[in-house]
Structure 1
Amino acid sequence: MIADRNSWTLTQDTADLRRPAMPSKPVSFDAQPQRVTIDLARTAVVVVDLQNDFCHPDGWLAGIGVDISGAQAPIPVVAALLPRLRAYDVPVVWLNWGNRPDQANLPPGVRHVYDAAGEGNGIGSTSGPSGSPVLQAGSWAAAIVGDLDVEAGDLAIDKYRMSGFVDTPLDSVLRNLRVDTLLFCGVNADQCVLNTLTDAANLGYDVIMIEDAVGTTSPSYCLDATFYNVRQCYGFTTTSQALAQTLAT
């Protein structure tokens, strides 16, 4: 069990508060602004918003006329990378928009982002091509796209903001996993991925964005600025090829 990473050994008479040993699994690979070494035993991969409403032709985003090719681009990269990471017991955390049906925890500013004109076509609406309530927990709209495999040991966390740390158990889960390094994949790189990565860095995690495993429906200059800011202010960027090469050896 994942929870066993952070556990005590108990008997009727004693409590051993030492956590289980986690033998180091160091790997080094090319990154920017410099080459990095991480410990895979203390690493998790966070996959952000690769869900139907953002990435599927029948999803909400495509239904309002957005070109989703940028959101679809990282899907095959992530599909190829995750099995390599799972082989080293790196936890996979799926972080998706999954709102409450009553939207009781959503402030007006969040609802405005998805329904700027107040026409009722945003979060919770069933007016999209699929008829599934937009970004609602438990719906087809919020489900991970079918091109990606979710395995039994993976973790799924619903989020309700651009950052996956606000009003969610993400930080508690990661700390119980005893990880300090986070690899970031998903969409949109310049929005939810960047906001979650920024909060992770501010909370003390080491952060690495995998350039070809993220995408965006924004203009290309937004992606360029995102990579620059990650390297300049928060952590590192690398590629799936650089990471896969070191995992293979």
Structure 2
Amino acid sequence: MTTVPRNRWTFEDGRVDLRRDTPPPRPLEVAARPAPLTADLTRSALVVVDMQNDFCTPGGWLDGIGVDVSPLAQAVTALQQLVPAARAAGMPVVWVNWGNRLDRANLPPGVAHVYDPQGLGVGIGSEMPNGSRVLTRDSWGAALVDGLVREPGDIDVDKYRMSGFWDTPLESILRNLRVDTLFLAGVNSDQCVYATLIDAACIGYDVVLVDGASATTSPAFCHDATLYNTRQCFGFSVESADLVSALAKETR
């Protein structure tokens, strides 16, 4: 699938036409909580956060500092079904991943501290035993985890905070895609996924957290609290398998 610009003027016979070519609504009905949803496929996008080696893969940064990354495998498995289903149904797929500058020139000290609280030199930009730089653009650690594949037409956004919106072009991209509804997935559900979801909700997007395709290395109650707060304060949650089934019914 190739992403077609949705927010463009046309020029014909010497005249500029400011009207956008607005595709007709395509209802997507899906079981969700706290209530079933009908979304518009033409105004929706799948935003996948931080499915990167440094978080998800043995030998990556989290694993190297002693974090059990095995709970994240379920998100990889679910996304192997969800991402192709979204593409087939014509829903844009946006990969939002840490991709820091090598010189860390735009990285605030508070963010750097969170990833290396003891100042041991094991945080963002640090060199791993395999030579990779932690969460640094073009490094192995920042690359998409094995089992998930970017395809032509997918959109990549590098981020430098927990949220995918700060200091990135994500909002401009979503605006030009002409979307209103974001289905959010990835890791960690209670950290970067949730921060991105909150910012999206606060600037006016409809937000749906995809359970199963989101996971965390935090205690289980953190994921449960994220689901609760999403439904209570910001939007909705949907099971990944239910979303895949709904998308399959709408495949072009």
TM-score category by the smaller chain? over 0.9
| Counterpart for residue 57 of structure 2 | 56
Percentage of pairs with the same residue: 56
| Counterpart for residue 102 of structure 2 | 101
What SS is found at the alignment partner of 2:46? strand
Q: Which amino acid aligns with 2:187?
A: V
Contact 2:89–2:248 (CA under 8 A) maintained in structure 1: no
Q: Which amino acid aligns with 1:162?
A: M
Q: Answer yes or no: is 1:211 the counterpart of 2:211.
A: yes
**Alignment of structure 1 residues 1-249 onto 2, 5 Å:** 2=3, 4-11=5-12, 13-126=14-127, 128-249=128-249
Looking at structure 1, the residues matched to 49 and 19 of structure 2 have their Cα atoms a distance apart, in angstroms, of 33
What SS is found at the alignment partner of 1:221? helix
Looking at structure 2, the residues matched to 119 and 30 of structure 1 have their Cα atoms a distance apart, in angstroms, of 46
Residues 151-185 of structure 1: per-residue CA shift (max 9 Å, x gap): 01000000000000000000000000000000011
1:91 shift after superposition? 0.5
Residues 80-114 of structure 1: per-residue CA shift (max 9 Å, x gap): 11111111110000000010111111111000011
1:11 shift after superposition? 3.2
Looking at structure 2, the residues matched to 192 and 21 of structure 1 have their Cα atoms a distance apart, in angstroms, of 32
1:3 shift after superposition? 5.3
1:248 shift after superposition? 2.8
Residues 11-63 of structure 1: per-residue CA shift (max 9 Å, x gap): 36210011112121101111111001000111000000000100111111101
Contact 2:124–2:136 (CA under 8 A) maintained in structure 1: yes
How many residues get paired?
248
Contact 1:135–1:142 (CA under 8 A) maintained in structure 2: yes
1:71 shift after superposition? 2.0
Residues 197-248 of structure 1: per-residue CA shift (max 9 Å, x gap): 0000001000000110000000011011000000000000011121122223
Contact 1:27–1:39 (CA under 8 A) maintained in structure 2: yes
Looking at structure 2, the residues matched to 133 and 117 of structure 1 have their Cα atoms a distance apart, in angstroms, of 18
- Structure 2: tracts of 5 or more residues without a match: none
Q: TM-score, normalised by structure 2?
A: 0.96
Q: Which amino acid aligns with 1:238?
A: V
Q: Which amino acid aligns with 1:59?
A: G
Q: Which amino acid aligns with 2:180?
A: D
Q: Which amino acid aligns with 1:67?
A: D
- Structure 1: tracts of 5 or more residues without a match: none
Cα RMSD after superposing both structures: 1.1
What SS is found at the alignment partner of 1:226? helix
Q: Which amino acid aligns with 2:215?
A: G
Q: Which amino acid aligns with 1:150?
A: R
What SS is found at the alignment partner of 1:31? coil
Q: Which amino acid aligns with 2:75?
A: P
Contact 1:63–1:129 (CA under 8 A) maintained in structure 2: no
Moved more, 223-232 or 79-88: 79-88
Q: Which amino acid aligns with 2:24?
A: P
Looking at structure 2, the residues matched to 3 and 182 of structure 1 have their Cα atoms a distance apart, in angstroms, of 18
